[in-house]
Chains A and B, each alone.
Chain A
Amino acid sequence: MIREAMEMPPKGGFSFDLCKRNDMLVKKGLKEPSFLKTGTTIVGLIFKDGVILGADTRATEGPIVADKNCEKIHYMAPNIYCCGAGTAADTEAVTGTHNFCSLSRCNQHVPFYFICLFSANFILQWLFLDMVSSQLKLHRYHTGRESRVVTALSLLKSHLFSYQGYVSAALVLGGVDVTGPHLHTIYPHGSTDTLPFATMGSGSLAAMAVFESKYREGLTRDEGVKLVSEAICSGIFNDLGSGSNVDICVITQGEKEYLRNHMLPNPRTYISEKGYSFSKKTEVLRTKITPLREMVEVIEGGDAMEE
């Protein structure tokens, strides 16, 4: 009877078991791996017709670059995107499958118990932004209307506040809805700001220096993209925690453009011209392809959703 009760799944919310274990380990003299405001430069700005978000693509685990080309601009709704700094930035696929590949990458560099420390935070992050985009989708079905940026903002901030800063996500949320273009920053403790231009992450000062000297109201799309690229490049080259490439997302009324790897200012400079030849290959004896499932056409009937 008692055993059954113990094996019941937890009711939800944050389980603090690992935190107790971490405290115990620290007391015994274990040096905690630090993952402060991890390497990132994320920026957003409002231009004439909408919002432009930008991010670098380096994911760090302490002093090591874990992912040279990760995606930090996450999908919230068709008209709303969110850049994430902090542990959120270490994940590649926040909106969809939980990517355990990045966990296994940890294995090579970091002993096992550290992974548990990371994973507790990682899993939270994935669930978090994924959760909010799912909540927005349900809300869209329920109301039959396009999501508004302030809705995403309220969902994100109330979630972060309830975790009192333990979910270390610093976000730049931007989008265009019926009320116009909006840009917000959200801090790990749940406070928000509404700004015409914003930067977050360890490279935020370098990027903000560029914005403060060059931003003006009423930028055109090309000027805005150029300014965002400059700000991210400033973060990439002047901050050690940021690097690799520049991702940009331009959101305007009714359309969005996700420019993945818009700029690649850090290409591999030396590539062997000979190429790589591997001596012994596995022989292919036989090839057989079995489709697992047949494609079935579903014809939609029924009424359209009421307004």
Chain B
Amino acid sequence: MLLGILGMNSLDCTPATNSLIRSEADSQRTLYPYVTGTSVVGIKYKDGILLAADMGGSYGSTLRYKSVERLKPVGKHSLIGASGEISDFQEIMRYLDDLILSDNMWDDGNSLGPKEVHNYLTRVMYNRRNKFNPLWNSLVLGGVKNGQKYLGTVNMIGVHYEDNHVATGFGNHLALPLLRDEWHENLTFEEGVILLEKCMRVLLYRDRSAVNKLQVLFSLCGIHTSRLLGNCCTV
């Protein structure tokens, strides 16, 4: 009898029995995303950084939330944009708030710049992935500190890099070709916004989870805080 049961365990682990055995452990880690945001697009322009994302939160194939702010300022110098699981983004914002708070508590006149925040996020994402419990996001991190512009990205497996133009999700396939063609070093603010709007329009045409309500943030050289440009509806 005992042998029989042992035999069943080793040879006959059907998916059904497996899920019964493993289900407790599985509830402790992220397996798949539920409420997701689609692409984020970011570029460097002459005076700083521009980020754009739409304001949709999809629940599978339903468009559940239509006013999700997926772009947020971080500290005095940086902006973050996230695609993927919204709850994990909210968790990341809590980590970042703690980080900025501890930094402010030093009260030494220094503040964390975008490069530092990007590195912090990279470590967080990579370590979570190593524990098989990832934060299911692709993040875009940009900002200006001491006149230096910085734009980088990190995704759920910890792959990170910085560039003059970045995009997540579908933006990689649809927006990056346009950005690679038309980006140049001395884009003015207006030109940058037009370029981002062009990318978001193509994404609206061809990405099924895109919505027609945009959020655009910019970060300027020499100005400490970043401002919300506005929520605009496009047709």
Partner-B contacts on A (CB < 8 A):
205-206, 208-210, 212-213, 230, 234, 237-238
CA distance A108 to B178 in the complex (A): 38
Q: In the complex where A212-B206, A213-B202 touch, is A206 in contact with B181 (Cβ < 8 A)?
A: no
Question: Does B175 lie at the interface of the complex (its beta carbon under 8 Å from any beta carbon of A)?
Answer: yes
Majority-rule SS of A interface residues = helix
Of listed A208, A210, A212, residue having the most chain B CB within 10 A: A212
User: Would you mind naming 27 contact pairs between A and B with Cβ atoms under 8 Å apart?
Assistant: A205-B174, A205-B177, A206-B173, A206-B174, A206-B177, A208-B174, A208-B206, A209-B173, A209-B178, A209-B202, A209-B206, A210-B177, A210-B178, A210-B181, A212-B201, A212-B205, A212-B206, A213-B178, A213-B198, A213-B201, A213-B202, A230-B181, A234-B177, A234-B181, A237-B180, A238-B176, A238-B180
Q: How many A-B residue pairs have CB under 8 A?
A: 36
Residue numbers in B under 8 Å from A210 (CB-CB)? 177-178, 181
Residue numbers in B under 8 Å from A213 (CB-CB)? 178, 198, 201-202
* Closest 7 pairs (CB-CB, A-B): A205-B173, A206-B177, A238-B177, A234-B177, A209-B174, A212-B202, A209-B177
B:161-185 near A, CB below 8 Å: 173-178, 180-181
B:181-235 near A, CB below 8 Å: 181, 198, 201-202, 205-206
CA distance A210 to B180 in the complex (A): 11
Q: Which residue of B lies closest to A233 (CB)?
A: B181
Residue numbers in B under 8 Å from A208 (CB-CB)? 174, 202, 206
CA distance A230 to B201 in the complex (A): 19
CA distance A106 to B178 in the complex (A): 36
CA distance A131 to B168 in the complex (A): 44
CA distance A82 to B175 in the complex (A): 28
